[in-house]
């Protein structure tokens, strides 16, 4: 369970959002830690469920941007976590399971929880301390009840149920669980995510590519996690997949090639240019044509952003490729423009729809790709849409005049 970070903005959703995002980054960090057959799932029995062969780990995460926070035997997060794990132990064999509580917080001096940082340390003093604390909470609430106080005024309401759950467990169950528990205080927080991942990547990839690689890897990983949470993805998240992404992206960044990445900068893009839609309107584009446009155009712009962020030199190569695309388009467009004087409006629109379809279905078969190692046809499809938003290409034989007329009308309305 991810605890919200305290903030003056008590109604802000940001702390919870950061907490859930932290789960995803933490899970990625686990898969980068070197277990070849590892997999993770998120928000199943615990915040993060980790498996590697017969080994299983349940990870509870306590995130905060405040690194000065402390966690102790009276902390609600400790008791909530014990309840979750005791419930798990009642329906699962825990002989091959470890339980990890990772927290940004630190321990107060002399905390009985300190034994949990060492797998081999004796847990008996901690068991005694937890029992005493659970009994104290129960007794304090019982005393308040006997004094006739309303239940809303009874103390320790935030962990009363969890302490009661602990007391219901047998001494043997408590001991069996605690011997398999480990705490990791002082864990990284979300502000240090890229730095933390960079440390792990430094063992396998050139240092020069790490900043951009972490950005790309996190964007790809976010998509995998979202598909898991929405049910689009049924299988667990695998270390093998992560290694494959790291290897492919690092190699592309290192040799400055044109790598595949249509996701990293997708959320940062400005809205699609109005001219893209106007050009579709000019030709009365079909429903299927309009349906294809938004994702294709956005993916092409996101891909361009990824290349230029990784290597500013690619800007010139992209411009040259755009000139090639415009030239190839012009061969088809000029033919239609030459004939358009003979046509009625419906024929002109039909011609425009045909040209748009050429950019979707045929252009990538007739035009070389931007790089011999990069062959995603959607880049050409989306680039033509992007260029239509700039007015560099168009579908209607008279699109330039139509755009100018539209611009005049818009300016007139503003006056």
Instruction: For residue 393, give the nearest of 338, 348, 327, 341 by alpha carbon.
Output: 327
Tokens of 382: 């989306």
pLDDT, mean of residues 11-26: 77
191: left (phi over 0), alpha (psi -120 to 50) or beta: alpha
- Over residues 101-160, the pLDDT tens digits come to 999 999 999 999 999 999 999 999 999 999 999 999 999 999 999 999 999 999 999 999
Q: Would 390 be classed as within a structural domain?
A: yes
Strand partners, 70: 106
SS3 294: helix
Range of 377's domain? 269-414
Q: Would 53 be classed as within a structural domain?
A: no
Q: Would 340 be classed as within a structural domain?
A: yes
Q: Would 256 be classed as within a structural domain?
A: no
Backbone angles phi, psi at 234, to 5 degrees: -95, -30
- Over residues 65-109, the pLDDT tens digits come to 888 999 999 999 999 999 999 999 999 999 999 999 999 999 999
How many angstroms separate the CA atoms of 409 and 108, rounded? 69
Q: How many domains does the chain have?
A: 1
pLDDT, mean of residues 317-335: 96
Q: Would 405 be classed as within a structural domain?
A: yes
pLDDT above 70 coverage of the chain, percent: 94
- Give yes or no for a contact between 214 and 264, defined as CB atoms under 8 angstroms apart: no
Strand partners, 62: 103
Q: Would 333 be classed as within a structural domain?
A: yes
Of the pLDDT bands very low, low, confident and very high (cuts 50, 70, 90), residue 298 is: very high
- Over residues 242-258, the pLDDT tens digits come to 999 998 888 877 776 78
Mean pLDDT of the chain: 91
Q: Which residues of 245-277 are buried (b: 16+ CB within 10 A; e: fewer)?
A: bbeebbebbeeebbbbbbbbbbeeeeebbebbb
Q: Would 308 be classed as within a structural domain?
A: yes
pLDDT, mean of residues 232-245: 90
Cα Rg of the chain (Å, integer): 30
Q: Would 105 be classed as within a structural domain?
A: no
pLDDT, mean of residues 389-402: 96
Instruction: For residue 374, give the nearest of 249, 252, 258 by alpha carbon.
Output: 258
Tokens of 92: 């699962």
How many angstroms separate the CA atoms of 239 and 51, rounded? 10
SS3 376: coil
Which residue carries 């690619």 as its tokens?
314
- Stated length of the chain: 415
């Amino acid at each position: 369970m991810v605890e919200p970070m305290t903030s003056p903005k008590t109604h802000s959703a940001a702390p919870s959002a950061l907490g859930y995002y932290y789960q995803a980054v933490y899970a990625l960090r686990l898969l980068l830690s070197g277990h070849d057959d590892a997999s993770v799932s998120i928000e199943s029995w615990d915040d993060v469920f980790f498996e590697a062969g017969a080994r299983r780990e349940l990870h509870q995460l306590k995130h905060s941007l405040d690194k000065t926070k402390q966690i102790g035997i009276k902390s609600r997060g400790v008791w909530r976590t014990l309840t979750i794990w005791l419930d798990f132990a009642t329906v699962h064999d825990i002989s091959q399971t470890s339980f990890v509580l990772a927290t940004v917080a630190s321990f107060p001096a002399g905390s009985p929880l300190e034994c949990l940082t060492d797998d081999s340390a004796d847990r008996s003093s901690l068991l005694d301390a937890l029992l005493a604390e659970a009994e104290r909470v129960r007794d304090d609430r019982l005393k308040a009840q006997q004094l006739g106080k309303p239940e809303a005024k009874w103390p320790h309401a935030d962990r009363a149920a969890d302490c009661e759950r602990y007391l219901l467990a047998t001494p043997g169950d408590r001991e069996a669980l605690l011997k398999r528990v480990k705490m990791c205080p002082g864990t990284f927080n979300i502000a240090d995510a890229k730095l933390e991942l960079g440390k792990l990547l430094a063992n396998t990839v050139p240092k020069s590519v790490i900043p951009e690689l972490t950005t790309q890897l996190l964007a790809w990983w976010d998509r995998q996690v979202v598909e898991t949470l929405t049910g689009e993805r049924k299988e667990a998240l695998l270390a093998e997949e992560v290694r494959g992404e790291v290897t492919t992206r690092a190699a592309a960044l290192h040799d400055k090639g044109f790598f595949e990445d249509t996701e990293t900068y997708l959320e940062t893009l400005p809205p699609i240019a109005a001219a893209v839609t106007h050009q579709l309107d000019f030709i009365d584009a079909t429903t299927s044509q309009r349906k294809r446009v938004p994702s294709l155009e956005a993916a092409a712009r996101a891909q361009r952003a990824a290349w230029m962020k990784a290597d500013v030199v690619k800007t010139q190569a992209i411009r040259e490729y755009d000139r090639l695309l415009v030239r190839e388009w012009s061969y088809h467009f000029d033919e239609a423009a030459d004939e358009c004087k003979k046509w009625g409006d419906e024929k002109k629109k039909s011609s425009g729809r045909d040209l748009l379809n050429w950019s979707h279905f045929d252009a990538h078969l007739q035009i070389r790709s931007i790089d011999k190692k990069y062959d995603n046809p959607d880049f050409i499809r989306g680039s033509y849409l992007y260029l239509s938003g700039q007015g560099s290409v168009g579908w209607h034989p008279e699109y330039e005049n139509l755009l100018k007329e539209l611009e005049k009308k818009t300016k007139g309305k503003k006056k």
